[in-house]
Amino acid sequence: MDESKREELTDSGYSWNFLWYALPAAFILLVGYQSCRKNKNYNSNLEAGIPPGVNLYSQPISSATAKEKIAVISIQGEISPKNNMVEITIAKLKSAATDPDIKAVILKIESPGGDVNSTNLIWNEINKLKTSKKPVIAFFNYIAASGAYYISAPADKIVSTPETWTGSIGVIFQSLNLYGLTEKLGVKMMTIKSAANKDMLSPYRQPEPEGEKIMQALVNESYDAFVGVVSQGRKMNEVKVRKLADGRIYSARQAKENGLVDEIGYFEDAVKLAKQLSKSEEASVVEIQERISFSGLFFNQFLTKNDSPPLKSMEKLLPKSGLYYIDPALLIMYQSNH
């Protein structure tokens, strides 16, 4: 092989080797650009509390093309901070409130409830939406219980499918206690604390009456808030609400008889009601959805903490420790079917 051919092959090899460095660098630059660029929606997204990498858009779900719209906002699964669920739901509600073309909102709910704080944040935003004078219809499908009912209480009307379970008005606190097991194993936790109740929720000590009394007071406070929300939203006497709010689950028919639901029907009935209340009979129906950008998907995949399979199994059995507007049995039932 002559010298010129050898040099040509060598140069070609160097060129290909360069690509091994250039392609990853280009990929990193592309991701960085997409995540950091100041596009025209950046400031409005930041103000609305939309997580980085997420953009909202209206997906038509009817053939009508009228300018006036009925907006559908889906609230599915456990109400919790997981996967930015709270932030994205709040952003959708803000979008519906500020869009002049949206004349009414349907909350499409399929949820067993969730933690007290997340539930309250969404409920507060729904109340803000109500100040825009746009009718709000809550549509229940399959399960709409506890915290899911909490956020629905301010709605102008509630429509439920015939087989939906709802109600479960109440609060629960659960915490795993390993004291008996550690005693049998001869394992002891050394604890140095500033006051007697500092470790009252520790799984390594025997529960004591004082700690239970403190937690019961917190549960009662959240329960009173729940009763107040239902009483105010449904315009029901508080005494009647407390009689209904013993934690039990109601069928759609029972809920209607008790005044917790207005109508038994299907999604098209909720749409019809929204059009009537908003006086927008020709309105098109759209669903406000989130579009996750490439950079958002990339960072969610690589920066989200992955739990071990055993921990995920435990989470399906019980919610994490804390105050919840939820029924653990309904949570398990919902998760086993999704």
How is residue 33 written in tokens?
A: 């650009």
Query: What pLDDT digit, counting tens, does each position of 258-304 carry?
Result: 999 999 999 999 999 999 999 999 999 999 998 766 555 554 554 44
Domain around 109: 42-170+246-336
pLDDT for 331 equals: 86
In a domain, 8, yes or no: no
- Cα–Cα distance for residue pair 204/191, rounded to 1 Å: 10
pLDDT for 12 equals: 52
Buried/exposed code over 109-120 (b: 16+ C-beta within 10 A; e: otherwise): bbbbbbbbebbb
Catalytic residue among 74, 146, 152, 231: 146
Query: What pLDDT digit, counting tens, does each position of 195-231 carry?
Result: 888 878 777 788 888 988 999 999 999 999 999 999 9
pLDDT for 297 equals: 53
- Cα–Cα distance for residue pair 259/21, rounded to 1 Å: 67
pLDDT for 209 equals: 87
For residue 139, pLDDT over 50 is answered with yes
For residue 110, pLDDT over 70 is answered with yes
- Cα–Cα distance for residue pair 135/333, rounded to 1 Å: 32
In a domain, 331, yes or no: yes
In a domain, 262, yes or no: yes
Domain total in the chain? 1
pLDDT for 2 equals: 57
In a domain, 33, yes or no: no
Annotated active-site residue 198? The verdict is yes
Q: What is the mean pLDDT of the chain?
A: 83
- In degrees and rounded to multiples of 5, residue 11 shows phi and psi of -60, -40
How is residue 244 written in tokens?
A: 């209904």
Instruction: List alpha helices for the chain, DSSP H.
Output: 3-36, 42-48, 85-98, 116-130, 147-152, 179-185, 209-234, 238-244, 252-258, 267-278, 294-303, 309-317, 328-336
The answer to whether the beta carbons of residues 192 and 169 sit under 8 Å apart is: no
Query: What pLDDT digit, counting tens, does each position of 35-50 carry?
Result: 454 444 445 555 556 6
In a domain, 135, yes or no: yes
In a domain, 291, yes or no: yes
In a domain, 18, yes or no: no
In a domain, 17, yes or no: no
- Top mean pLDDT of 45-49, 199-203, 248-252, 331-335 is at 248-252
Catalytic residue among 82, 188, 198, 312: 198
For residue 1, pLDDT over 70 is answered with no
**pLDDT classification of 20: cutoffs 50, 70, 90:** low
User: Between the CA of residue 55 and those of 189, 245, 249, 288, 295, what are the distances in Å?
Assistant: 48, 38, 37, 10, 12
pLDDT for 332 equals: 83
For residue 175, pLDDT over 70 is answered with yes
- Cα–Cα distance for residue pair 257/61, rounded to 1 Å: 32
For residue 7, pLDDT over 60 is answered with no
CATH of the domain at 49: 3.90.226.10
- Top mean pLDDT of 27-36, 88-97, 310-319 is at 88-97
- Cα–Cα distance for residue pair 91/30, rounded to 1 Å: 27
For residue 155, pLDDT over 60 is answered with yes
Annotated active-site residue 272? The verdict is no
Buried/exposed code over 46-58 (b: 16+ C-beta within 10 A; e: otherwise): eebebbebbebeb
- Between 148-162, 235-249, 268-282, 292-306, the lowest mean confidence (pLDDT) is in 292-306
**DSSP states of 187-200:** -------SSTTTTT
pLDDT for 26 equals: 61
Considering only CA atoms, which of 197, 109, 177 is closest in space to residue 318?
Answer: 177
For residue 9, pLDDT over 80 is answered with no
For residue 305, pLDDT over 60 is answered with no
